[in-house]
């Protein structure tokens, strides 16, 4: 089984994970775009009452920044084949615990930095997926589809592990990840199902995406319109807010955390939101 093999070859899922980008591409499809940076925030109520010098939030802010996600899509070539490459670099500061308050404390932290790359062919086929951990304990995992099988290679500490497994999921499920649901202000499809491979969770993930409603709102002083889309895996649920131009504005995570656009002026995230029907 894919899950069993990847679980042995790769690393197990842990709490307090960095959060990859790509939700905009799940909703709006792949298109080349420059790097977009979103801040990763956790609720202020989860953190002890201490703010080091330089922290941008006030003590009254309900959110505090614990990481960021940088995502870009660019034209590329893989083994001589023209394609698009989605690259997302995600970092996360893991906060320590303050026993006296029973909460996380921003003074104690360690850092996790990871990269996801996906190469997509002209017809939407997934050519190759790469996961890389930069901090701590660096390693690289490459996953390549070959005639109904998945070839997996992991390199860590100059040691290489290889293996192949059969894939029971139809290839279209992987292609559906970047099948556009919303483009240029118009809803093209309200629902879809897709599959992903994730070395950090240990295997194959099956997701559903559903357009819930349209919205209007502000980020800083800028006004946006777009759609709200639910991304679900079993009982787990993320909610993506994607603009008419295909930009991810906010991702409400099932963990209670958020990825948010950070304006030059004003607080991060959407406010004064008005919603409508789908």
27, two tokens? 């909703």
Compute φ and ψ for 76, nearest 5 degrees: -150, 175
pTM of the model: 0.84
pLDDT at 28 over 90: yes
pLDDT for res 263: 84
Report DSSP state, residue 121: -
266, two tokens? 């004003």
Q: From the CB of residue 179, how many other CB atoms can be counted at a distance below 10 Å?
A: 19
Question: Among all chains, which residue has been given the structure tokens 């500061």?
Answer: 93
Task: Give per-residue pLDDT as tens, 234-268.
Answer: 999 999 999 999 999 999 999 889 999 998 776 77
Cα 135 from Cα 144, distance rounded (Å): 24
Q: Are 178 and 22 in contact (CB under 8 A)?
A: no
Report DSSP state, residue 3: H
Mean of per-residue pLDDT scores for the chain: 83
pLDDT for res 273: 81
> What value does the mean pLDDT take over residues 135-153?
85
The DSSP bridge pattern shows strands 203-219 and 236-243 to be unpaired
Cα 155 from Cα 19, distance rounded (Å): 22
Phi-psi region of 5 (alpha: psi -120 to 50; beta: other; left: phi over 0): alpha
Q: Which whole-number Å values give the CA distances from 172 to 25, 125, 192, 195, in the listed order?
A: 16, 8, 11, 9
Cα 143 from Cα 22, distance rounded (Å): 18
Burial class from Cβ neighbours inside 10 Å (0-12, 13-18, 19+) for residue 153 reads middle
Find the range with the poorest average confidence among 213-222, 228-237, 268-277: 268-277
Q: Which residues contact 96 (CB under 8 A, 6 or more apart)?
A: 104, 105, 107, 108, 109
Find the range with the poorest average confidence among 137-146, 192-201, 241-250: 192-201
């Amino acid at each position: 089984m894919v899950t069993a093999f990847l679980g042995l070859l790769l690393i197990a899922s842990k709490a307090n994970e960095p959060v990859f980008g790509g939700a905009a591409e799940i909703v709006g499809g792949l298109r080349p775009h420059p790097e977009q940076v979103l801040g990763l925030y956790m609720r202020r109520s989860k953190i002890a009452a201490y703010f080091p010098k330089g922290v941008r939030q006030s003590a009254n802010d309900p959110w505090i920044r614990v990481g960021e996600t940088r995502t870009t899509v660019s034209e590329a070539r893989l083994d001589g084949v023209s394609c698009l490459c989605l690259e997302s670099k995600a970092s996360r500061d893991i906060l320590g615990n303050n026993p006296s308050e029973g909460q996380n404390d921003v003074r104690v932290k360690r850092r996790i930095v990871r990269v996801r790359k996906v190469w997509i062919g002209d017809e939407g086929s997934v050519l190759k997926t790469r996961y890389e951990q930069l901090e701590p304990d660096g390693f690289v995992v490459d996953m390549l589809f070959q005639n109904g099988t998945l070839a997996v290679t992991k390199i860590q500490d100059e040691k290489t592990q290889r293996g192949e497994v059969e894939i029971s999921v139809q290839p279209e499920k992987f292609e559906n990840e970047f099948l556009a649901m919303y483009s240029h202000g118009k809803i093209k499809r309200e629902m879809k199902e897709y599959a992903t491979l994730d070395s950090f969770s240990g295997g194959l993930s099956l997701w559903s995406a559903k357009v819930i409603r349209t919205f209007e709102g502000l980020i800083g002083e800028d006004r946006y319109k777009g759609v709200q889309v639910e991304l679900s895996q079993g009982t787990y649920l993320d909610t993506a807010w994607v603009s008419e131009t295909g930009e991810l504005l906010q991702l409400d995570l099932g963990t209670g955390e958020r990825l948010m656009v950070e304006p030059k002026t004003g607080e991060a995230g959407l406010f004064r939101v008005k919603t409508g029907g789908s």
